[in-house]
Structure 1
Amino acid sequence: MSDENGTPATLRGPRPEAIRFFGTTWVDHDGGYGARRIAVSAGSLLAVAVSCLVLRFAYQGLAIAAVGAAVTLLIAVMFAVCTALAFGHTWGAFTRRPDPERQASLRGLLAIGFLGSLAAYFLRSLTEAPGEKLHREEYEAARAAADKRASRRTGNPSRKRRT
């Protein structure tokens, strides 16, 4: 019997956190984990390709509007910088929890640099479920702490002999 995340109901202690598209299959690499990784990699690569096509249409729109070389260059540089920053931010979020305040302040930049976020997601999904390393470290630390707490408790303390 399993809960909604696919975690066994008999599991004691901390529960693993679900990862988008993977649920808790990342814990034991079961439940179609390999197929999910392939699907996520293919999907994110397709999203990168479609995003490049959208950016090309935007660039052609600028050319049709004849806004000038300076504006076209500024927009191209803006997209390149935002894409690079979004890639770095997304890649870093797979290894450490991002600060919520910083995340909120970067929301616009990440939206403009969406291509970088998609590329980071694609590259990470080639080796693991995106965020798996971070979740695994947190889960193993929580399991170790729970095991340590459980090992200290042996029996009913009220039945303990007093000397």
Structure 2
Amino acid sequence: MSEPREDSPRRSRTPGSAAGPDNRPGGVPRPGAGPKPEEIRFFGTTWVDHDGGYGLRRVAVAAGSLLAAVAGCLVLRFAYQGLETARVGGFVDLLVIVTFSVCSAVAFRKTWEGFSRRPADPAREESLRSLRMIGFIGVLLAYFLRSLAEAPGEKLRRGEYETALARYEKRHGARTGNPAARRKPRRR
């Protein structure tokens, strides 16, 4: 039979031992405990210390999103030429151009806002998914422009992570040691 590991949730403790919030005796936090940074698409957690090829990843995201936007424009151009060949009429041509332009503009704005703040209503953001798919060029351009300055969404996540770290340090800095072992002042 194997012995339970130290980090196993089913390990046994001796009766009367004071355990902290993470089940370690004496309330001592485990090394590496605390808030973990949220991963960013294409960057993982390299944005925290700007290590692990962070600069190369930013260049790759910028170049990739720009190339994808150019390729998307070429595909839309071929689709528009198909409409001209089919001679569907000026109204349909105008409708297609306006639809892709408006959807791209709205998708750009919503994506850009998503880099700096969390959505107030996630259900509403979910309902805009199809609009973002139609306006994919706006999404790609937003990624391109943001990745020129930072990883897309880095500022938002860095602020949240630093706030969580400060809260964690404040909470655990005040609770070092075993409070039951402290001497109580005598009453006279």
1:8-19 equivalent positions in 2, closer than 5 A: 10-19=31-40
Measure the CA separation in 2 of the matches of 1:10 and 1:31: 22
SS in 2 for 1:94: helix
The answer to whether the aligner puts 1:44 opposite 2:33 as a matched pair is no
Unaligned runs of 5+ in 1: 1-8
Deviations 1:112-158 (A, max 9, x none): 10110000001000000011011101100100000100111132111
Instruction: Please tell me the residue identity of whatever aligns with 1:84.
Output: A
The Cα of 1:103 is off from its aligned counterpart by: 1.4
Deviations 1:1-30 (A, max 9, x none): xxxxxxxx9433111111111111100001
Q: 1:5 matched to which residue of 2?
A: none
Instruction: Please tell me the residue identity of whatever aligns with 2:183.
Output: R
Unaligned runs of 5+ in 2: 1-29
Instruction: Please tell me the residue identity of whatever aligns with 1:100.
Output: P
How well do the aligned residues superpose, as a CA RMSD in angstroms? 1.2
Sort the Cα spacing of 1:70 and 1:41 in 2 relative to 1 into closer, same or farther, 3 A. Answer: same
TM-score (norm 2): 0.80
Which structure is higher in helix share? 1
1:1-163 equivalent positions in 2, closer than 5 A: 10-98=31-119, 99-163=121-185
Count of equivalent residues: 155
The Cα of 1:74 is off from its aligned counterpart by: 1.1
Q: After TM superposition, what 4+ stretches of structure 1 lie above 6 angstroms from structure 2?
A: none
Q: Which has the larger radius of gyration?
A: 2
Instruction: Please tell me the residue identity of whatever aligns with 2:44.
Output: G
Identity percentage over the alignment? 65
